[in-house]
Amino acid sequence: MFDSGSVTSDLNLTRQECDARGDQLKVRTYRVELDLSEAATDAQTYRSRSTVVFDSTGTSTWIDLVTDVIDSVTVNGRQVYLEDYDGARILLHDLEIGENTVVVDALCKYSRTGEGLHRFTDPEDCNTYLYTHCEPTDARRMFACFEQPDLKGEFTFVVTAPSQWLVRSNQPEVSSEPAGECTTHTFAPTPPLSSYIVALIAGPYAVVQDTWSVERADGSSQTIELTAMCRRGMLEHLESDEIFYTTKAGLDFYDRAYGFPYPWGGSSYAAPAKDRSEGRAENFVGCKYDQVFVPEYNIGAMENPGLVTFTEDYLFRGGATTMQRTSRAAVILHEMAHMWFGDLVTPKWWDDLWLKESFADLMGYQVTQEATRFDQAWLQFASGRKLWAYTYDQLPSTHPVIARIEDLEAAAQNFDGITYSKGAAVLRQLQAIIGPESFFAGARDYFAAHAFGSATFNDLLTALQPHTEHDLWRWADAWLRTTSPSELTADTSRGHGGAVTELVVRQRCTDRITGDEVVRPHQLQVAGYALGEAGLERTFLAPVTLTGESVEVPEAVGNRADLVLVNAGDLTYGIGRLDEQSQHVASTHLSSITDDLDRGAVWTALWNLTRDARIPASRFVDTFCTQAPAESNAMILRIVAGQVQTAVGHFLPAGTRTAAWDALGGVARVALAGAEPESDLQRTWADLLAEFASQTDTLAGDAAALADGKVPDGLTLTDELRWKLAASLVRQGAWDEAEVQHLLEQDNTLIGRTSSLTALAAAPQAQDETWRRLVEDELTNDAQRALLTGWGISDPGTKYAQPYVELLDSVWGDRVQSMAQRLVIGLFPDVDADDEGRAALGAIRSWYDDNPGSPAALRRIVLEQIDHAERALRAQQVTQD
């Protein structure tokens, strides 16, 4: 038996060593036996037994396991002695050249922070629930495995759990054997899987069922059993009809587009013959597609084949806006796309993380737009999601979409706006260039060639290239191996009456890493708008193929254009700039543009000018105050309102913020009163009033009245809205702990309890205690996020700058990476262009300069926060002309 005692584990894994192990090994099967019979007690560990069969061309390697206690390890029946075990790697020596069997018996820990096997006890009914999350390398916290994506194996799970519990895994259950008050469940072997997408849930989950089936033109058919699950206390909010509607729409689309049947959650499978028409596979029988919504999740969702997990934030208490429903649909369809991109064909190493995430991100929005009733998905992608990419692509830590990932910590950092939304935007541009038919034809060839294996980006290009005359290798060099967004401008000459005499579209991009000028091929559209009686009306929409530094647009000549919009319809990835005249016209007439995508693009252009310190933040705030009340699309309003709060809180000079917050409060009050009852706009303006109220005491009476139930006709006072109001009222000193406790008594649920943490932490006088809890207490993901939200509302400024610098020395070693990252970001001090702010920023810069040996992932996050702060300082110094 091995007990780790004080051994320090090195949880990092490098590309070089995993490449070598991947070349040496071929994994055949895993049998994973987990004893969860005491999960509902206060037991901290569970028994885990792994039997791994693999072939080796060498005589030594290691197997991964993160635990404190190992009872035994055998290799081909021989006992292994564990003096060298470091808490993460079990060294295996004297392997056979050929087949080997390793058996590892250990005690593994239940997680409270979302990694491995997470255990949650519901405070509402005391029921205990388990679920797994293993990406990128946390399966090793549950059982011994070869923890890298290219070493796929067939997994058989055997799980002992209380008999009244529901137990699910990637594959269907094939047998169950009662044993006292528990039952042992055995699940069918999986097709070859990477360890990071194995999945298990156990507990008294509520279940709703449905089915999807298809009869195909080639004579084949398929039926998939569908389930939606959640903890019992959230069943009334599950909205299974809508979830199944979206699920079926996605299965219809992917079955047609990918030409490869859904391959998971069935009792048998067969890899497709590579010469079969469209790569159709046989014997996908008894398939299932489970979707479970879980609490305390540390991410949004995870694509475990046959058992997809989602944060229960996607279960809406008290209804939802179109934006929320669109977001949920896009996430459901994103995870479903992974059943093919990522699960069926898996990246060989984390360099090609984008190869699954970019495709899934694109598909999530595209399929939502094209196959469901949520027809504002492209708007959400263009106006919201892509801003994540633009932000990350302008940071000093930017990287190409195809990045060189040297180790696991670097991989965890690259789950970012570039890997997801820039990659998705670039792939959308690829569809615009080669056409969706060629795009999906290449995808079908890719799946047929690499099903149940691992692949690289070169494999994908090889599959796509025969379907287009465009040189995709050159395209990839320009788009995927360079950094920084292109800046797109329209140089417009106007003559009599504002008619265009010449319009030239230009691109400019300097790669932030290399310093090289980058010229990319763009397929885009340019739109012109003229002021008329009804406001701005579109006068032309011209397709543009931009392959060099510039191109003329003859279709624009002769048309009046008071406002010119580059990248109308959002076909390409690039920051579109507005000329001075277009900026002026937008600031007074933006809300009159009838096309939602174009109106959203103009808002995005104004925002990018603001955050890039090209125009004063006050101009963006003024535009919001005049144009937002007439905004007809609640999704655009919600997105832009987040931007205006950043503009006021960070980009305006400190001395002007109070007046700006007061102005926003007045706008929200009037707009809410005039909003159509029961509309998305009414609900959105109510949310905004609650948020603005945290920063202006002019809304204290309005917020208190809403919290007391005095709402406009048609507005539902949801729990979410009441807690937002509570946080603002506490921030302004209008409520204290007693009022928060009274509200909690009315909503004594998990969500109510975490929301109360936010409300109490919003009090400026609570900052010391909030800091202590964040830094010292063992918190769940939900509790940490709630406290950080309240911390931000309380507006601590630079008060804790020195403790923050001191925290950086220990934060990475004391916590799991995801929670450490949240602290580094969430506790970074807000700096202003004054002596205090510059001193705080200088101290953090000094820490960065003086600690080159600190973990690279930590240094990257600190550098990014410094860059954000410097951007804010630049914006504060831009004044009105």
User: Is-cis flag, bond preceding 136, omega within 30?
Assistant: yes
CA distance 520 to 274: 35
Structure tokens at 475: 């395209």
How many C-alpha atoms does 120 have within 13 Å on its Cβ side? Answer: 35
- CA 768-856-786 angle, 5° bins: 30
Indicate if the alpha-carbon torsion angle 511, 515, 517, 518 is positive or negative. negative
Structure tokens at 39: 């999960």
Yes or no: say if 100 and 74 are a contact pair by the CB < 8 Å rule.
no
- CA 375-643-764 angle, 5° bins: 125
Indicate if the alpha-carbon torsion angle 871, 877, 880, 881 is positive or negative. negative
Among residues 324, 44, 111, 114, the alpha carbon closest in space to that of 785 is found at 114
CA distance 674 to 632: 12
DSSP helix/strand/coil, 120: strand
Number of Cβ within a 10 Å radius of residue 62: 18
Yes or no: say if 486 and 508 are a contact pair by the CB < 8 Å rule.
yes
Q: One of 335, 409, 631, 864 is an active-site residue; which one? A: 335
Structure tokens at 447: 């799946």
CA distance 241 to 239: 6
- CA 344-348-353 angle, 5° bins: 80
Place of tokens 């830590």: 397
What DSSP state is assigned to residue 9? P
Place of tokens 């953090």: 844
Yes or no: say if 787 and 755 are a contact pair by the CB < 8 Å rule.
no
Specify whether 406 is catalytic.
Answer: no
CA distance 506 to 491: 8
Beta bridge partners of 157: 32
Yes or no: say if 762 and 733 are a contact pair by the CB < 8 Å rule.
no
Yes or no: say if 104 and 71 are a contact pair by the CB < 8 Å rule.
no
CA distance 495 to 671: 39
Beta bridge partners of 179: 182
What DSSP state is assigned to residue 73? E
CA distance 73 to 106: 9
Q: What share of the chain is helix, strand, coil (3-state, %, to 5)?
A: 45, 25, 35
Yes or no: say if 34 and 143 are a contact pair by the CB < 8 Å rule.
yes
Number of Cβ within a 10 Å radius of residue 676: 9
> Distance of CA 576 to CAs 199, 391, 485, 517, Å?
43, 14, 10, 18
Report the first-to-last Cα separation within the chain, whole angstroms: 74
Yes or no: say if 176 and 184 are a contact pair by the CB < 8 Å rule.
yes
CA distance 39 to 45: 8
DSSP helix/strand/coil, 162: strand
Among residues 725, 717, 733, 729, the alpha carbon closest in space to that of 688 is found at 725
Yes or no: say if 492 and 564 are a contact pair by the CB < 8 Å rule.
yes
DSSP helix/strand/coil, 292: strand
Structure tokens at 358: 């970019």
**Among all residues, which ones are annotated catalytic?**
335
